[in-house]
Amino acid sequence: MSFSVIKTSNAPAAIGPYSQGCIAGRMLFISGQIPVDPSTGKMITDDIKAATAQCLENIMAILRAADENARLVKVGIFLTDMGDFGKVNEIYATYFGDEPPARACVEVSALPKGAPIEIEAIAILSIG
């Protein structure tokens, strides 16, 4: 099975000993993305909708770096406040059509760098 690491400047650099994404066979595993704007290095903490959008933009940048035609099949969302669930869903829905990926959403006590949200994903790469 083939294996490769994905690295793009269009998403935040890893803040630890991990890769932005890894391809194994036809699967792409995208590391959890916090709401850091890769162009400024600043994190969005005061607006959960903007933070959600930034996390998803980071994921999409890694997805595009791997394969323009890849498709997300599973998403994991980690929130420090489950009260933000509705706002997160509102933004999340704008990224996916009638066939969104499978998903889990859980509340956690804390996230890296004090982030209010972190999103990870798994995708399947296109054939050929």
Q: Active-site positions?
A: 105
User: Distances in Å between the alpha carbon of 54 and those of 48, 87, 128?
Assistant: 10, 14, 30
Residue with tokens 């996230």: 111
Identity (one letter) of the amino acid at 64? R
CA dihedral 105, 109, 112, 114 (to 10 degrees): 110
User: Distances in Å between the alpha carbon of 116 and those of 55, 72, 78, 92, 108?
Assistant: 11, 22, 8, 15, 10
